Structure 1
Amino acid sequence: MKVLHIITGLNDGGAEAVLYRLATSKNSTFKHSVISLMDGGKYGPLLEEVGVDVYCLNIQRSGLNVFFVFKIFSLIRKLNPDAVQTWMFHGDLFGGLFARLSGFKNIVWGVHHTTLVKGESKRSTIFVAKINALLSHFVPNKIIYCAEKSREVQESIGFCTKKGIVASNGYDVSQYVYNEQLGIDFREELSLSNRFLIGHVGRYDPLKDYSNFLAGLGVLKKVRKDFKSILVGSFLDEKNHELNKLILKNDIKNNVLLCGRRSDIPLVMNGFDVFVLSSISEAFPNVLNEAMACGTPCITTDVGDAARIVGDTGWVVPPRDPQALAKAISEAWYEKDNLPVQWLARKKACRERIVNNFSLEKMVSDYESVWMEGIKV
């Protein structure tokens, strides 16, 4: 059986990571192929390395033209999948429509957004979401949401309530593991062995609210100065002038290290004392799961299903509240320094929560059950 994934792009993001885990899982019973409306990004080469066929249409450069339309129609018909799984709003719109017009009915949309914030989210994304709300009654056979909150929000703006199901993201817990030596190696690499490390992995995006994160670090510095915050991910580097302005504004230049994109995320996660997510909008933030699977306690804003992921293993604070963020970091720091038994128990509970609730095997089973249901109809 064959499944064709159609996704907006294959850069470093949550939906892209989920597609990669699905397509490369040893538990999968489907043969996977992928169409990216844009380029191959981070995950295109990684998918090709393991034998997944990847086709890039580069719409960003060429625009939506006759060649693009012809190419995607030809590819869909050539690949002739048993199921079409689309990803993200633009992928759902274009992939879903072209698959339907090509005669395929077993189309499953994948939605990985929660709240779209006016002034922060792209206007084109908000516009496409509204179009998809109308088309959701006609184009997809099913809609898979990665989070309960995501389903709730999209259905409130008109997405078809009869087609929606939730399949939580799953993780390869054999890859993301607690390993004390990895943490030591990471700290030695950066010459930060004796510092309290506040970590973040992501990409530079307004919805991640780095203004809140860095303001929280500024508040923390007024109380305790001997910490280092490590930011890892796309555009989280010295070339990002906006980010550097925020760092200077909060007087934390000596406390923040911008590392840019790295591929050794399990090593990075093991090196952090705590992981911080300061977003104003998320669906099912993958990075929390990755950090927790490595035994790293998390501090997160109350967005999407973040509180559901963290449970009682970490700290949940309101969005846009740097004072609350700083207070939670201080509590974590105090516990690590003064209550070592309690801290070790917390680290163990972090990993156990991911292993017991968000496994890769369960996610693969959930997706394939939906694809199979459409094949049998």
Structure 2
Amino acid sequence: MAEHTHSHAVVSLSDEGKYGPLLREAGVPLACLSMPKGRLSLGGLAAFRRVLSAHRPDIVQCWMYHANLVGGVLSRLAGIRLVVWGMHNSGLDPLVAPLATRMADRACALMSRVVPTQIVSCSQQASRRHISAGYSASNWTIIPNGYDLAVFEPDARARSRLRRAWSIDEGQFVIGSVARWHPDKDHRNLAAALAKLSARAEFPFKCILAGPGISPENNDLAGLLDRYGVRDKVMLLGPSDGVAALMSAFDIHVLASRREAFPNVVAEAMACGTPCVATDVGDIGVIVGNTGCVVPSQDPDALSRAITNMAVENRNSPSWETRQQACRNRVASDFSLERMARAYSALWERLSAKDLRTENDQEQTIIW
């Protein structure tokens, strides 16, 4: 049987973002519609119609609310029968999400029974949340995120370099957390847990926080750390393009969130051999399994106890090395980039075979 191949073209509702150069380098056509964030424009909609006419795709794969709505509806109007939506969050918080995004979400829920042939989610929990919010329950597929193990791998040199730059003392336990400043990430929960660790004085530690909005200029974050008395225990790095190096420099990675779907940072840390302590939200328990600690959300006592247990085990080299290897093995076996790619390819082929009765070796064009 001939191997099925796909050709791809990518459409961005706005600009090329940070992935544009990578796509061009890979030879993937990229069209940018230049629509304002959270708004539609007639010029952008017309440009997308031209892209559809030029590529005549067999399948249109969309990604999140605005793209699902615009890409799905216009593709159907253009006569494309196979439309796949992508849902990669745990639903919207009405107190935080922008009005335009909430409106797009509501429109997608109403159209979810007629526009998408299939809805792909990276998370069982995310699919359940969207179904309970009014989405169709009959056309979901779960494809977990995948990770490049050649990028996310243990890096001893990066670990030594960063820990020197951070002035980490010998025997100091390094707690890391890569998460943007957002209510869902619940930095208050983490700060409260750190305060309990500091009060116990059971072991010396340093906490490294990184992500968009995680900087000394963030007065709300600085005030939070001061309020819990842990400002001297925490270093704020801001956003970083070197997440793999950061993960290698941490002893553990902590995610204290109150809402998630399938958080990439947990699997990325594990791929680097860094055990995780995380709250039991979204599919975190599925990712971590028995390689780390999963605790109830919004429970700083449980979070601090789990971190303490990890710190104690960290002093036992053979046990800790076994746990580190188990972390990487779990990502390699269940969440590799290759496994995710095969799952998407199999989905597209199944939909094509069912709807178009295509031969297995016929090339298709997929627009994301």
- The residue number in structure 1 matching 2:70 is 94
The one-letter amino acid paired with 2:217 is K
Indicate the residue corresponding to 2:122 in structure 1.
Answer: 146
Q: Which residue of 2 aligns with 1:204?
A: 181
Task: Report the Cα distance in structure 2 between the residues aligned to 1:128 and 1:325, rounded to whole angstroms.
Answer: 36
Q: Does structure 1 residue 236 correspond to structure 2 residue 237?
A: no
1:173 matches 2:149: yes
Asked if residue 220 in structure 1 is aligned to residue 197 in structure 2, the reply is yes
What is the aligned counterpart of 2:52 among 43, 54, 76?
76
Aligned-partner Cα distance in 2 for 1:62–1:302: 31
Does 1 or 2 have the higher relative contact order (CA < 8 Å, sep 6+)?
2
Contact 2:82 2:351 in 1 (8 A): yes
Q: CA shift at 1:158, angstroms?
A: 2.6
**Paired residue secondary structure (2:273):** coil
Aligned to 1:356: 333
Identity %: 37
Q: What is the aligned partner in structure 2 of residue 269 from structure 1?
A: 247
**2:80 aligned to which of 88, 93, 104:** 104
* Residue aligning to 1:327: 305
Q: How many corresponding residue pairs?
A: 350
> CA offsets per residue over residues 88-118 of structure 1, 9 Å max, x none?
1221111211221222111100111224334
| SS of residue in 2 equivalent to 1:237 | coil
Matched residue SS, 1:42? helix
Q: Distance in 2 between matches of 1:278 and 1:185?
A: 27
> Out of 260, 269, 286, which is 1:291 matched to?
269
CA distance in 1, matches of 2:182, 2:6: 34
Matched, 1:251 2:229: yes
Question: What CA deviation, in whole Å up to 9, does each residue of 1:324-374 have, x standing for no partner?
Answer: 21111111111112x322211111111111111112111101111122223
Contact 2:9 2:30 in 1 (8 A): yes
| RMSD (Å) for aligned C-alpha atoms | 2.1
C-alpha separation in 2, matches of 1:250 and 1:62: 37
| Aligned AA (2:160) | I
User: Does the alignment pair 1:307 with 2:285?
Assistant: yes
Q: TM-score with structure 2 length normalisation?
A: 0.89
**Structure 1 residues 332 and 52: alpha-carbon distance in aligned structure 2, compared to 1, 3 A threshold:** same
Q: TM-score, normalised by structure 1?
A: 0.87
Could you tell me how far apart the structure 1 residues matched to 2:129 and 2:37 are? 32
1:125-164 correspondence runs (5 A): 125-164=101-140
Structure with bigger gyration radius:
2
CA distance in 2, matches of 1:177, 1:246: 33
Q: Distance in 1 between matches of 2:187 and 2:17?
A: 23
Shift of 1:306: 0.2
Looking at structure 1, the residues matched to 330 and 120 of structure 2 have their Cα atoms a distance apart, in angstroms, of 23
- Other structure's SS at 2:125 match: helix
CA contact (8 A) 2:121 2:140 kept: yes
Describe the SS at the equivalent of 2:51. Answer: helix
Structure 2 Cα separation of the partners of residues 158 and 77 of structure 1: 32
